[in-house]
């Protein structure tokens, strides 16, 4: 049998496999680097897109916040105007109350009662005066209670023998003003 030396052929085949392996490894490395670069570019594009969306949303939020502040200031102005309108309407509707107050007190006061002071806070009217007797004060309170413009007269103080009025009864009372309406409609003067 002839002896054939196969070592050079095997050596050549081994080199060929190594070159093929190196070519495949280099190709795989190039493809991997390409994929990594493409992935990096794609991720950067996604990040920039998200940042631009975030920037747009932030701008919109800022604009909406400014509009909310403007709306709140308008609502405050509206509330202030409504409060002013309410006060004006109350003043307009209570315009004649002072006239009714004095008219009704003049009608209700007996001849022996003299008023020294009259003050009003809201719907409460405070009266201070002097009467010849306690019966005159009682008659005054009954007359106030019978009026369509007053309700709930309360005697706070009654004194006799005060130094300024030694023979008379000095009194303080409070009465609540109403809107003058009675069951049959508006009160008649």
pLDDT band at 1 (very low <50, low <70, confident <90, very high): low
Q: Give the pLDDT confidence of 136-186 residue by residue, as tens digits.
A: 888 989 998 888 888 889 988 888 877 677 778 889 999 998 876 654 444
Handedness of CA 70, 76, 77, 78 (dihedral sign): positive
How does the average pLDDT of the chain come out, rounded?
87
Going from the C-alpha of 80 to that of each of 28, 44, 72, 87, the distances in angstroms are 76, 53, 12, 11
- pLDDT at position 178 is 84
- pLDDT at position 103 is 86
Q: Which residues contact 100 (CB under 8 A, 6 or more apart)?
A: 149, 180, 187, 189
Greater pLDDT, 64 or 9: 64
pLDDT band at 189 (very low <50, low <70, confident <90, very high): very low
Q: Give the pLDDT confidence of 83-95 residue by residue, as tens digits.
A: 999 988 887 877 7
| CA–CA–CA angle 167, 168, 170 (5° rounding) | 140
Q: Give the pLDDT confidence of 26-45 residue by residue, as tens digits.
A: 999 999 999 999 999 999 99
- The predicted model scores a pTM of 0.51
- Strands 113-121, 150-160: pairing is unpaired
pLDDT over 90 (residue 75): yes
pLDDT over 80 (residue 97): no
Q: Please give the backbone phi and psi of residue 160, each rounded to the nearest 5 degrees, phi first.
A: -120, 155
Greater pLDDT, 6 or 175: 175
């Amino acid at each position: 049998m002839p002896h054939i030396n196969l070592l050079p052929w095997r050596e050549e085949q081994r080199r060929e496999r190594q070159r093929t392996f190196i070519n495949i490894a280099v190709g795989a490395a190039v493809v991997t680097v390409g994929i990594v670069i493409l992935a990096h570019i794609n991720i950067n594009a996604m990040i920039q897109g998200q940042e631009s969306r975030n920037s747009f949303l932030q701008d919109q939020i800022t604009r909406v916040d400014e509009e909310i502040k403007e709306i709140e200031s308008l609502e405050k102005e509206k509330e202030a105007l409504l409060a002013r309108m309410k006060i004006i309407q109350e003043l307009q509707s209570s315009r004649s109350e002072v006239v009714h107050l004095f008219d009704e007190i003049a009608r209700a006061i007996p001849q022996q009662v003299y008023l020294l002071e009259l003050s009003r806070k809201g719907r409460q009217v405070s009266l201070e005066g002097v009467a010849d007797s306690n019966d005159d004060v009682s008659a005054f309170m009954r007359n106030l209670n019978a009026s369509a413009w007053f309700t709930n007269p309360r005697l706070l103080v009654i004194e006799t023998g005060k130094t300024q009025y030694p023979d008379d009864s000095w009194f303080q009372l409070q009465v609540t003003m109403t809107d003058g309406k009675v069951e049959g409609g508006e009160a008649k003067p």
